[in-house]
Structure 1
């Protein structure tokens, strides 16, 4: 939109019901603080500036609320005297004179830019105040939106509502938009002449109408404007976010066998025709390209899975894991800060850390890269078309050349040239009848020990 806009985000609550050692808005949904979700939504709406009204953990909240392309300023709310008072804490920002002022809350992480845009369009159409409401079949406890002739005439709190007004199912979400040219004068008219002595933002409806202004309400999905007060509600928000994102991905061409068991992060990217089996966890920073196959019980974070690659079941990709196209990381394997080349296979029971695996190489079962010396990490480089036998230990820093072969059970401490065979194990010896002697000795010792009791 061409209109300038300030977003005022209220995030100063004490989080008492959350029973937490940190601010409520810092608790994550889909791996991202709730406040960051809200800030991303307002940023997508085209706001140029945001005022964060903070209290507890002010510095951490301000840091979590930083968003690219938006100038963010934090305002400390020392006292809690109602929502109207909270918004006026950002008075200096509002006074700059924006066309639109959006009011949002830091604990409403499912809100989308589309809802804020709808409210701003109401301002562009001439409204002085636009309230965002939602319809619910359980309105108890919410303020009701009372509408006449297409305009909002009041927000009636349940304790003040008549029996007829309590039948209204269109409720107040708390989110709203205000004409920026009038915002400050309207906000300063809010009185604390009520039982609690607090300044209620909802009074703006009748204040604006008394000044001859126009007030309207727009509708948003109930789930989108849901807030969070405790851990149970946080879990409910997580469930709703996951359901929404899974649905979006499946409509984009991703197959999920049991979507309710797949957990995504806020920035998970999955390409068309990827196939996700049950019980898969995507931590932050994961990108899955087209046609990849993710088997059950796999766990990924900050990893890149190339087109047609295959991982799992029971695979773990840690930060920095990169799988090129058609590569494979199989069951009970762990990869960290390593590149698995095109068509390379790391099939089972293997650890690959701080490494480079060349195209079409094969890493046998139980092989490991010994990347840590107790102080520093070192790299292992394996060329293309190499074969690393089962139960081999590659002690970094070490390099295995193209086409090289490492015999099973070897401990490799020196570089292996291309096309060479490396054996790093003791020569096998056979001692005839020795097993029988050892066994008889052990049985005699056990019998003597039993007789002595």
Structure 2
């Protein structure tokens, strides 16, 4: 029998707004952002399928329903959609899903990528349980739920973001739980937290006993743009190379590289894996794709372009003589010739970026730009490290981007 057993269902919470991921979530839910050539939700689904879960409840904003159609169904899941019109919290989201549940279920946030091994340990644990991980040295405790434990493997309490700063613990809530459906009565009595949301953590804190499962491999909370790069790096390490497209005899492919069907690598180009290039792409001539780069379907990378450790989403084009390093390019962007994304500070300190108006460290010595969906850069655009350009915005010829640019901005000079 699969690890999940015959009756264990999955619940994936995909109704959040994802403000910290701006501008990437301005047009798409965060669970549909691409890593290693596929939506985060599809990555989650593949892992749930491998541990034996065949039925899934997706909690989504109903206005985004069409965006989710088919993603999990093509993996063989029986999918139920639970609408959550307003993002009123994880507790509210679970209430929407309860009518589809009986017995045990696995609950996971839709912006979390967890190793198959860690998911398996949660499924095998007896009774109610929660997955926790250690706070990374570059992470801010105030952005996560902090966990305290008792008797080595039992939950004492989850402290939400506004409570956890004073708690002497470096364990944080990973956003993965196994629960019993008999918690429905507790959900009915749930009241808003100090943050004004209905929190699933309030329910978990009220349970008599919850086992703690420690993450032994990885659990990535994709809450900020640079988390996509980390997830992409890990998934590419696990990927096996496969060539379905066409490679010029004058091009070179080194290491594990996935090249999709109808894609072409033109002469004098070099692809160094691990790297992912989707279907219908055109690379080169004379292009350099360096390790940990993911290029989505229908992209074009032109003459003498270098792309390194970046995510380039579906339908984007990067014109000749450009450099894209440690960056995230949204869908259907047009990167003008000679565009340069700077990714390193002169003082070698960690790159900082604005999140909700606050300058925060990315935890990365190298981090380039985040360019929103549908945006265009004029030729010769230079972008400072950590800067973001909103969706459907333009830069003018030779513009130097020293500060973030909002969405829907036209040419700077007429």
Settle same-fold status: TM greater than 0.5. Answer: yes
Number of residue pairs the alignment of both structures matches: 270
| CA deviations over 1:33-63 (Å, ceiling 9, x no partner) | 1211112221222112100111041221233
Q: Structure 1's 115 and 286: CA in aligned 2 closer, same or farther, altered over 3 A? A: farther
RMSD across aligned positions (CA): 4.1
Q: Matches of residues 86-165 of structure 1 in structure 2 within 5 Å?
A: 86-94=93-101, 97-98=102-103, 100-108=104-112, 110-122=113-125, 125=126, 127=127, 129-136=128-135, 137=137, 138=139, 140-141=141-142, 142-149=144-151, 150-161=153-164, 163=166, 165=167
Counterpart residue number, 1:409: none
Residue aligned with 2:49, SS: helix
Residue aligned with 1:51, SS: strand
Residue aligned with 2:129, SS: strand
Counterpart residue number, 1:82: 89
Displacement of 1:21 after TM fit?
2.0
Counterpart residue number, 1:177: 178
Maintained 8 Å contact 1:101/1:183: no
Residue aligned with 2:155, SS: strand
Question: Which of residues 212, 216, 219 is equivalent to 2:214?
Answer: 219
Question: Which of residues 227, 242, 246 is equivalent to 1:236?
Answer: 227
Counterpart Cα distance in 2 of 1:139 and 1:300: 34
| CA deviations over 1:173-206 (Å, ceiling 9, x no partner) | 22211024x24334334x2153344211001223
Q: Structure 1's 15 and 314: CA in aligned 2 closer, same or farther, altered over 3 A? A: closer
| Structure 1 gap ranges (5+) | 255-263, 269-274, 288-293, 304-310, 320-331, 333-453
Maintained 8 Å contact 1:134/1:170: yes
Displacement of 1:284 after TM fit?
4.2
Counterpart Cα distance in 1 of 2:92 and 2:183: 13
Counterpart Cα distance in 2 of 1:315 and 1:143: 41
Displacement of 1:170 after TM fit?
0.7
Counterpart Cα distance in 1 of 2:29 and 2:236: 28
Greater fraction helix? 1
Higher relative contact order (CA 8 A, sep 6+): 2
Q: Structure 1's 131 and 27: CA in aligned 2 closer, same or farther, altered over 3 A? A: same
Counterpart residue number, 2:401: none
TM-score by length of 1: 0.51
Counterpart Cα distance in 2 of 1:88 and 1:114: 28
Displacement of 1:144 after TM fit?
1.6
Displacement of 1:134 after TM fit?
0.6
Maintained 8 Å contact 1:105/1:175: yes
Q: Structure 1's 15 and 172: CA in aligned 2 closer, same or farther, altered over 3 A? A: closer
Q: Structure 1's 61 and 313: CA in aligned 2 closer, same or farther, altered over 3 A? A: same
TM-score by length of 2: 0.55
Higher CA-based Rg: 1
Maintained 8 Å contact 1:45/1:114: no
